[in-house]
Structure formats: structure tokens, C-alpha cells
Amino acid sequence: MMSKIVRTMASLLILFALIYGLYIIMHGHLTPGGGFQGGAVFASGIALLIVAFGSDNIHKTLKEHHLSILESSGALIFIGLAFGGLAIVFFYNFLVGSPIFGHIPPSGPNPGDIWTAGVIPFMNIAVGLKVLAGLSAILLVMALATTLMEVEE
Amino acid sequence: MRKIAIAVSLSIFIAFLIATAFLIHPFGYPPSEMDDYIIENTQSETGANNAVTAVVFDYRGFDTLGEATILFTAVTGVVMLFRAKKKREK
């Protein structure tokens, strides 16, 4: 656990870090980024929390087996969406033209709207869930092991 | 003996790198039909404005599945390793 200044600034900045990560995941089909990048940004926010508050305090609320469940559910959603297009071909984009995320933008450069791209937003959310949970679990487990080693010495 | 072998193999490797740097194709040549196809048809086929995301999640979905599997394996290995260490030290 670090000083009070660091803790206050971390608890202010964590909101922006997490919201920015979720924004990159959610707008993956419109702007640069996507599930992997947004998940990495979100996990860097978790890293900020771990550095500022200490891994023991974070571990009271954020357990690694909960993160493992989140990661596995992200992987299952991803594969399930891939199997959803199996009527035509594996990974077929079966939601284009349907009422859910089905708008087709005009061709050429345009800002677009968020209600487009079929299964790609859902896949972004699934992969983002998977990456943020996986990287947060890695960070948390490694930080816990480091504190245990310091106690032993 | 070992240092000589390392030096010879490293110099051969660097010679290949320099030769490749001189022999590499110029940018955009030979022209490929695949990128033109993706630029033309991304918006009508997948509906996504971001062509990179469309390639990653739609045209090349299997690659993303492999990446996700690699990440899953890495997380499983790290959590397993450090959890075992924690229990033994207690």
C-alpha cells in the first residue's frame, strides 16, 4: 500500500482508465482498437489499483477464481458465436441485415453508427471480457506471489 | 570452438538479413487482389467500418480463435503455477 496521495490519485484515475478500456471494446468495429486492446487497457487499470492499494487489499474483493470464470465465459461466448453461423460456414457473420446490430453503412469513408457490423460487436465484447479477466488474473496472482516472497524473506 | 561456431552462424544470419534487405520487394508490389477485395467489400459484407476488425473477427476468425486459445493456455499456466506456490509456502 502506497501513500495517501497515490491512493487518492489512483482512485480518481481508475474511473477514466476502466471507462476508456470499455469504450475501446465497445467501439471496436468503428474506431481503431478492439477486444484485445481494450482488455489490455482495462487490465492496466487493474494494475494501477494493485500498485496503489497493495495486492492483499485488492484480493479481498477481486478473487482470481471469479476472474477465471469470467474468462472462460468469454471464450464460450466467442466459440458459441462462431458456431452460430454454422448454417453457412464457421465464423459466418449471420447478424448482418437482421434487426440486431444489422445496419449496413454506406460504402466509402463515413463515421458510421454503433448499430452495425453483425456479430463483430458481440465477438469484441466476448474477447474483451476474456482478455481483461485473463490479464487481470495474471497480474493479481503474480502480485500476490511477490508479496508472499517478501514476507518470507 | 563454441565461440567460433556462434560467430560463424551469427555472421551467416546477418549476411542473410542484409541480403534480404536489399532484395525485398518494393512496397505494394506485386499487387495483391485480396486487399483490394477487402477494402471494396468490407462495408457491404460485414457492415463494419473498421476493416481491420472485420478482418480479425470475420474474414480471419480462425486466427482469433487461436489467439484466444493461446491466451487461455497462458492464463491457466500462470494461475496454476502461482497457486501451487502459494499453498506450499503456507
Q: What is the rounded average pLDDT for all residues in chain A?
A: 83
DSSP bridge pairs for A103: A116
Q: Is B56 on the interface with A (CB under 8 A)?
A: yes
Q: Is A110 on the interface with B (CB under 8 A)?
A: yes
Q: Which of A138, A139, A150 to mutate to test the interface with B (most CBs of B within 10 A)?
A: A138
Nearest residue to A73 (alpha-carbon basis) of A20, A126, A30: A126
Lowest mean pLDDT among A12-16, B69-73, B86-90: B86-90
Nearest residue to A92 (alpha-carbon basis) of B68, B62, B40: B62
Widest CA span in chain A: 64
Nearest 5°: the CA angle B68, A139, A48 is 115
Domain borders along chain B are 2-89
Lowest mean pLDDT among A75-79, B3-7, B85-89: B85-89
C-alpha Rg value of chain A to the nearest Å: 19
Q: What is the distance in angstroms between the Cα of B9 and the nearest Cα belonging to chain A?
A: 37
Contact A148/B86, CB-based, under 8 Å? yes
Contacts of A34 in chain B (CB under 8 A): 50, 52-53, 56-57
Mean pLDDT across the stretch A89-102?
73
Residue A135 has which C-alpha cell? 490479464
Q: Is B62 on the interface with A (CB under 8 A)?
A: yes
Contacts of A30 in chain B (CB under 8 A): 48-50
Contacts of A36 in chain B (CB under 8 A): 67
Distance CA A68, CA A132 (A): 11
Q: Is the pLDDT of residue A30 over 60?
A: yes
Contacts of A68 in chain B (CB under 8 A): 75, 79
pLDDT in tens, B9-44: 999 999 999 999 888 877 777 777 787 788 888 877
Residue pairs spanning A and B at CB distance below 8 A: 122
**Contact by Cβ (8 Å): A107, A14:** no
**Which is more confident, B58 or A20?**
A20
Confidence (pLDDT) at B13: 96
Q: Is the pLDDT of residue B59 over 90?
A: no
ipTM of this model? 0.77
